[in-house]
Chains A and B, each alone.
Chain A
């Protein structure tokens, strides 16, 4: 069943998009990430203009994240205060990111920056996560006890001013690192059309030293706020949100996210992380490939501005 999208101005297969939305929603609920880094490249591959894909995908990520964040909050696995601080930075970052993206599109360098960001962020984070989680899996197979958590108190978190208590995360740290983190992720979310969960989750574990059980839910909560805002900004500033496309994706997405959040209870954390790392790494390499292979046609159309 083909459906014509009013903003993207292309015809797409509706059941295919619902199914894709469900698959990405499932992954989103399972790993506590938005899933945008998977969906945006797929939409572009299906022939949807990149600007529309990025903007509509933010809408889909918001929907599936709401769906899974409420599942996590029922199990008391969301630190709303930390999420709010992160989102505060994220909101400012989203404004900046939407403007950066506009200028990049006018300069014709948007594709390049998107490819480089994917290669750099997904490649590096995927590789690090894979290394770390494979190590953890091997250690537990050999029956060794996991390395004790480093108790060293990072200067970055404790020496800076404006300390705040985060009871859920059992932290008493400066609010500057979470705000800066949220800001950077807000920029990325506008440029790459992603929620930023794949960066946020490891950053919360390794930089903010948050307990693993609240990380996923908190990351999803911050993603809901940033992506909902990004999609309003993209619609208002660039008119690139396709409501029909977003609705098709979120029908599948919200259901998939619920199933994913349930399934996550059945997996071991290290195995889950290794799998996520592998997906992240592969997507990053695939997106970066275009930078190195000889193009079939030396010319390309660049979108935007016009």
Chain B
């Protein structure tokens, strides 16, 4: 009688991942950063696996307006505020997301440019903000998808949102890699990288890795100075301007 070997399915399927850099330091020479996500899929049965890597930057509210033509002149409509759009978004996967799993899964997990969660109140809300009356916070209704699509499209044009259906590559059995390019104008703040393993269209294992982008050194000092002591900062910058102008005129008088 053959000895029963423990069925491999009993061993848990898991995913493990790490970032090559967890702390991106923005110095005066910062021109963007290339970060790699390395990881491994542990599946004793070796079933077909798909990996999705989603990097999301700090949330920022975005104001967007539609151009309308009035009397032959293109004007901006009232701006609409999308609260909590990620400042950076990249979805990388081994295959097109639609082939990996169903629409509802993508929607629930917020995967891909069509599904990433952007908090915008669905109902009309007009309120007074910053002393300006009648700010439209959201009055989108049926137009919602056009506006939301525009936010994603404009962010994509600016290089801040992207999706890559070949962005995750398996290097060896179970070992994978994805690359994330942060542009120089990527927002400062706390990012997160979600690495999700899909099998048979279902998420079976997930890891979330923190990633921080921060200004350091002189950049940080100047930024803090400008925000903590704005009036002093203004006086100092005006003084530099006036002194430089005066100095130049003295130097040129001698020559």
Contacts and interface: CB of A to CB of B under 8 A. Distances in A.
B226 interface: yes
B245 A7 contact: no
A243 B234 CA distance: 9
A173 interface: no
A246 B249 contact: no
Give the interface size class of chain A.
35 or more
Contacts of A59: 237-238, 241
B219 A66 contact: no
B30 interface: yes
A302 B64 contact: yes
Contact of B237 (A9, A241, A251): A241
B169 to A, nearest CB: 29
Interface string B215-250: 100111011001100110111111011101111110
Contacts of B36: none
A302 B241 contact: no
B230 A2 contact: no
Given A4-B26, A6-B226, A108 B235 contact: no
A230 B64 CA distance: 28
B231 to A, nearest CB: 4
Interface string A15-49: 00000000000000000000000000000000100
A299 B64 contact: yes
A111 interface: yes
A251 B253 CA distance: 17
Given A2-B29, A10-B185, A236-B234, A66 B253 contact: no
B188 interface: yes
B125 to A, nearest CB: 16
Binding site of A, secondary structure by majority: helix, strand, loop or mixed? helix
A299 B147 CA distance: 8
Given A6-B215, A292-B73, A300-B154, A65 B130 contact: no
A257 interface: yes
A213 interface: no
A68 B154 CA distance: 42
B58 to A, nearest CB: 12
B231 A306 contact: no
5 contacts: A3-B28, A6-B222, A107-B132, A290-B74, A305-B79
Interface of B: 26-32, 60-67, 72-79, 81, 129-132, 135, 147, 150-151, 153-154, 157, 184-185, 187-188, 215, 218-220, 222-223, 226-227, 230-231, 233-238, 240-242, 244-249, 252-253
Given A108-B76, A234-B234, A243-B237, 14 more contacts: A4-B184, A6-B218, A70-B246, A74-B253, A103-B132, A106-B135, A232-B234, A235-B233, A236-B233, A239-B230, A241-B237, A297-B154, A299-B153, A305-B130
Q: Which A-B residue pairs are the 4 nearest by beta carbons? A: A66-B245, A235-B234, A108-B79, A254-B248
